[in-house]
Chain A
Amino acid sequence: MISAVLLLLLIAAVVIGPFIWRVSISDIDVVAGLQGPSLAHPFGTDDLGQDLLARMIYGGRISLAVGLAAMLVSVFVGTLIGALAGMSRGALGYGLMWLTDLFLSLPQLPLLLMLIYLFRDGLKAVFGPEGGIFILIVLVIGGLRWMPVARLVRAQFLSLREKEFVEAARALGASPVRQVVRHILPNALGPVIIAGTIDVAAAIIAESTLSFLGLGFPPDTPTWGRILYDAKDFLDIGPHWALFPGGAIFIAVVAINFIGDGLRDALDARKVI
C-alpha cells in the first residue's frame, strides 16, 4: 500500500514537476558548475552548471516510462516463451529453448550496432521521431532481457505441471490453457516478479547506454541512468550529482518490488501465512 503511494508520488513528481519547477534543463552556466544543493538549485548543479532538479524531473519521465515498459515487455515475452516451452513436450519446446540459448549467446554491443545500422533510418521514418524512439528503446531493452525469465518460468512449469493439483485439474478435464492460467502460472510467478523488479533497474541503466550508442534519445537528453553515468567521475568532487539519480532508481525499484509482492499475494492460491 505504502509502496503504491510511493510510486504514485514519484510519477506525480515527474509529471507535475515541470509546471512547478520552471528551470530549463539545458541552461549552461559554467561558472556555477558542480554546486551542492542550494535554494536556487535544490539538487545542485552538474559540471556545466545545469540544474539537476530540472534534469531529474525531465529524465524521470523517460526513465520511469522506459523502465516500466521494458520490464513489462521482457516479463511478458519471457513468461510466454517459458510457459510454452514448459508445457510443450516436443519440438516446440526444443525450438524455444534454442531461441533462448541463441539470445543468451548474442553479444549485445555488436547486435545493437547492427540494429542501428540496418534499421535506424527505416524506424525513424515508420514511427516518427519521439514516439518511435521510445517504442524502439523499449523493444530493444525488453527484447534483450527476456531470456532469464523464460528459463525460470520453464523450470517452474516443468515441476509444477506434474504436481497433484495440476493433475487433478487435468483429470477434471481442464483445457491446457485453463491449467496454465488458473493453476500453474499463479504458482510460477514468484521468480517472475523478482526478475521484473531487477529488470526495471537494469532497463533504466541500459537506456543510458543505448543513447550513448546513438540508438536512444539524443545524447543531450538527461535521463536518470545518463545522469548517474555522467556523475561517476565526479563522485569525490560533487557527490550530490550521483546521489539523486542513484536514490531515485532505488526508490523506484523498492516501490515496484512491493507492488509485485502484493500482486503475488493477491494471486497466490496457496497463501498460508
Chain B
Amino acid sequence: MSQYILRRLMIAIPSLLGISLVLFVVLALAPGDPFSELATNPNVPPEVQAALRAKFGLDDPIYLRYLHWLAAMVHGDWGFSFVSRVDVDTLILQRLPTTLYVVGSSQLLALLIAIPVGVYAATRPYSLFDQLANTFAFIGFSLPTFFTGILFILVFSVKLDWLPFVYTSVPGSGIPWLLEMIRQAIMPVMVLGLFQAASMTRFVRSAMLDVIRLDYVTTARAKGLGQAKVIVKHVMRNAMIPVVTLIALQMPAVFGGAIVTEQIFRIPGIGSLLISSILANDTPVVMAVTFVFACLVVLFNLIADVLYGWLDPRISFR
C-alpha cells in the first residue's frame, strides 16, 4: 500500500505541472485588465493604463510569463498582486483562517445533517420522514445560495433582528469574542451547510438503498442481528464509497471558499478574494489560489482512492 501511495505521489508532480500550465494559459488568455477601473477617469489618460500594463509584464508572451511564474514558485515566491501591490502569500494567509472556519463548519454541518437523515430515510423508504426529507432536499438544491442567503438575511436580521449579516473581524478576546464570532457565522454556515446537506442527503439515501437491498444484508438480518447493528456494521461501510467520493470532492472547497455565500455575508475568505481578483484580472492572485486548489483536488483524490481500498478490501491497487 505505501508503495502505491508513493507511486501516486510521484505521478502527482508532473500532473500538477500540467495542470498549472493549463491554468496559466487560461488565465493569460482570459480577457480583462487589472486597471480597468481607471478607464473612465478623466484624470488618468489611457496611456497611463497602458504603461501600467506594460510595467507589470502583461504584454509579454505567455510562455515567458509562465516560465517566470514557475521559476518564482520553485523558489517559494508566490507572486505579487497587481491590484494590492503586496505579496500574494500575505493576502492568502490573511484570509485562510476565516475560510477554514466558515466553510469548514458548514461542511461539517452538511455531514452531520446528511448522514443521519440519509441513513434513517433509507431504512424507511417512502415513509413520512423520508418524504419530508426528500422534499426539503429538493427545495434545498432548487434554490441557489444567492437566494437563500438573502432570504435568511430578511428573516433573521431585518425582521427578527437576531443576527448580524455583515461578517467582520471582531477585535478583542475571551468568551464575548468567541460568542460574537459564533453569532456572525451562524447564517453563512446555515446557508452553505443546508445547500450542501440537501444534495448530500440524497446521495447518502441512495447509496444506503442500493446496499440495503442486497442479499447479505438480508442474511445478516436473518441471522438475528439487531437493526442498528446491521445498518452500521454491514450497510454503512459498503455504502460509504459514493459518500467518500463526494466528501473528497468537497474538501478542497474548505480552502477555496464559497464565492457566492462569502459575497453575500461579506466574509473575508479565499472565495471573495478569488472573485474580486478574477474581476480585477489580478492574475498572480488567481493563479496562486487556483493552483493550491488544484493541489488539494489531486491530494484528496488520492486520499479517496486509499479509503476505497480500506472500505472495500477487494478493490486492489497496483
Contact = CB atoms under 8 A, between A and B. Distances in A.
| Chains A and B touch (C-beta atoms under 8 A apart) | yes
Interface of A: 89, 94, 97-98, 100-102, 104-107, 109-111, 113-114, 116-118, 147-148, 151-152, 155-156, 158-159, 162-163, 187, 190-191, 193-194, 197-198, 201-202, 205, 228-229, 232-233, 235-236, 242, 246, 249-250, 253-254, 257, 270-273
A-B interface, 9 closest residue pairs, ranked by CB to CB distance from nearest:
A105-B294, A110-B30, A272-B213, A162-B314, A250-B142, A114-B30, A190-B206, A155-B245, A113-B30
A236 B154 CA distance: 7
A151 B26 contact: no
A106 B275 CA distance: 13
Given A148-B249, A158-B308, A228-B147, 8 more contacts: A89-B318, A107-B274, A110-B278, A117-B30, A228-B144, A232-B146, A233-B150, A246-B143
Contacts of A162: 312, 314-316
Contact of B147 (A114, A155, A242): A242
A94 B11 contact: yes
A229 B146 contact: yes
Nearest to A110: B30
Contacts of A194: 199, 202-203, 206
Contacts of B220: none
B298 A101 contact: yes
Given A155-B304, A159-B314, A253-B141, A198 B147 contact: no
A101 B294 CA distance: 7
Contact of A201 (B18, B29, B142, B213): B142
Given A102-B18, A194-B202, A253-B141, A110 B27 contact: yes
Contacts of A89: 318
B246 interface: yes
Contacts of A102: 18-19, 22, 294
A98 B150 contact: no
Contacts of B246: 148, 152
B258 to A, nearest CB: 14
Contacts of A101: 15, 19, 294, 297-298, 301
A249 B141 CA distance: 10
A191 B5 CA distance: 27
B209 interface: yes
Contacts, number: 153
Interface of B: 11, 15, 18-19, 22-23, 26-27, 29-32, 125, 135, 138-139, 141-144, 146-147, 150-151, 154, 158, 199, 202-203, 206-207, 209-210, 213-214, 218, 241-242, 244-246, 248-249, 252, 274-275, 278-279, 286, 290, 293-294, 297-298, 301, 304, 308, 312, 314-316, 318
A101 B23 CA distance: 12
Contacts of B32: 113
Contacts of B142: 201, 246, 249-250, 253
Contacts of B147: 228, 232, 242, 246
B297 A190 contact: no
A98 B207 contact: no
A231 B314 CA distance: 52
Contacts of A98: 15, 18-19
Contact of A190 (B135, B210, B214, B275): B210
Contact of A117 (B29, B248, B301): B29
Contact of A111 (B30, B241, B245, B252): B30
A144 to B, nearest CB: 12
A160 to B, nearest CB: 10
Nearest to B295: A105
Contacts of B279: 109
Nearest to B314: A162
B242 A156 contact: yes
Nearest to A252: B142
Choose among B11, B241, B242, B294 the residue with the greatest number of A CB atoms under 10 Å from its CB.
Answer: B242
Contacts of A229: 146
Contact of B297 (A104, A158, A193, A271): A104
A13 to B, nearest CB: 18
Contacts of A158: 241, 308, 312, 315
28 contacts: A98-B18, A102-B19, A105-B297, A106-B26, A106-B290, A107-B26, A107-B274, A107-B278, A109-B278, A113-B32, A116-B31, A118-B29, A151-B245, A151-B301, A151-B304, A162-B314, A190-B210, A190-B242, A191-B206, A197-B202, A229-B146, A232-B146, A242-B147, A249-B142, A249-B143, A250-B139, A253-B141, A254-B138
